[in-house]
């Protein structure tokens, strides 16, 4: 259900490379949530560094949403970049696993296409490609 990859790069480099890899695959980064900063603004101490990237390919999103608007609850796709121990990791919920929750077997092909691209983006950002 999850895809997780580790990187030897530091957090800021992985985040910059994720932006670049997404653009290279025609995915836009819609927003980046910095959990540590967001929680601090709410008065909650949170130690680990964690950034959540919301990414989307508008053409693929349109294909899915035209058939089932309820899938909008799972969009945009998210890639989490976080520090665990002394390693930077990237993790995402596989779109192919998520699409099964919506009972839309005719959208499985789109989910596989999106998943393949997101995993490539993650591998490139991590320095594995």
pTM: 0.94
Closest CA to 15 of 55, 42, 43, 58: 55
Q: Which domain holds residue 63?
A: 2-126
Domain CATH for 39 = 3.30.310.70
State pLDDT tens for residues 44-77: 999 899 999 999 999 999 999 999 999 999 999 9
Cβ neighbours around 22 below 10 Å, total? 24
Give the number of domains in the chain.
1
């Amino acid at each position: 259900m999850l895809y997780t990859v580790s990187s030897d790069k530091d957090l800021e480099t992985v985040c910059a490379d994720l932006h670049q890899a997404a653009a290279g695959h025609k995915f836009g980064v819609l927003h980046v949530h910095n959990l540590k900063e967001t929680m601090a603004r709410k008065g909650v101490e949170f130690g680990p560094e964690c950034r959540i990237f919301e990414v989307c390919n508008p053409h693929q999103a349109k294909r899915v949403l035209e058939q089932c608007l309820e899938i909008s609850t799972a969009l945009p796709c998210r890639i989490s970049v976080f520090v665990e121990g002394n390693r930077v990791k990237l993790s995402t919920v596989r779109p192919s696993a998520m699409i099964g929750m919506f009972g839309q077997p005719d959208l499985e092909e789109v989910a596989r296409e999106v998943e393949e691209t997101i995993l490539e983006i993650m591998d490139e950002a991590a320095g594995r490609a």
